Amino acid sequence: MSTAARSIQPKVVWVAALGGFVTLLSPALIEHLQKWESGKSRALVVYEDKLAGNIPTVCNGLTRHVTKTPIVVGERWTEARCIAEEAAAIERVQRALLPCFKRLPPPSVLDMASSHAWNLGAPATCGSGAMQAWNRGEWERGCQRISRGDDGRLVWSFTSHIEPRTGQKVYTFRQGLANRRGDETGKCAGGLL
């Protein structure tokens, strides 16, 4: 287990509407986020994430979309600050996701739905085809839909921007996003065995 995963303490939460317990902030999720957000070590200096439209980013992918703490390009953060902010932000994302589940999700499903929401936002994950499948109890199909549609096409692997000359939204395939979605699918389904 990585230092990051040991530093953030999991929380077992009773989910009354779903009639059971879930674990927020699991070590598997923390390690997964570190792998895909910053690699071997957290980014301790705030940078502009080019793939995300130059959004100021720090630690393991902390942005204004997951934390209310101001993130200023060039500012230096400490490991301790990253750990505290990441734990609070991940818990916030997971608590936003839980009401979207109509069934108590297996741990691997909650973890990878959380990764998806960390990267794309809880509303996108809640409105996804994956969530529709999970809410029917089709856990494996939902896991597959994190990375591929039912027709086999890649999904959630594109960035977008508005083309200034036409005003049209343009999508660009990103292999790194496809790789992340594939890893999420594998870990999501792998935990169902």
Query: Within 10 Å of residue 68's Cβ, how many Cβ atoms?
Result: 9
The per-residue DSSP string of 79-124 comes to HHHHHHHHHHHHHHHHHHHGGG-SSPPPHHHHHHHHHHHHHH-HHH
- What region, left, alpha or beta, does residue 125 occupy, with left being phi > 0 and alpha being psi -120 to 50 degrees? alpha
pLDDT at 16 over 80: no
- pLDDT tens string 112-158: 999 999 999 999 999 999 999 999 999 999 999 999 999 999 999 99
Please indicate, yes or no, whether the overall pTM of this predicted structure exceeds 0.85. yes
In one-letter notation, the amino acid at residue 38 is S
Most confident of 35-49, 136-150, 156-170: 136-150
Q: Which of 144, 152, 126, 153 is nearest to 186 (CA)?
A: 144
- How far apart, in Å, are the Cα atoms of 30 and each of 22, 132, 189? 16, 25, 18
> How much of the chain exceeds pLDDT 70, in percent?
97
Q: What b/e readout covers 136-154, taking b as 16+ CB neighbours within 10 angstroms?
A: eeebebbbbbbbbeeeeee
pLDDT of residue 167: 94
pLDDT of residue 2: 61
Q: What b/e readout covers 50-61, taking b as 16+ CB neighbours within 10 angstroms?
A: eeeeebbbbbbb
Both structure tokens of 76 = 């230096």
* CA separation for the pair 185, 32 (Å, rounded): 12
Q: Which residues contact 117 (CB under 8 A, 6 or more apart)?
A: 93, 94, 96, 97, 124, 125, 126
Confidence bin at 3 (pLDDT 50/70/90): low
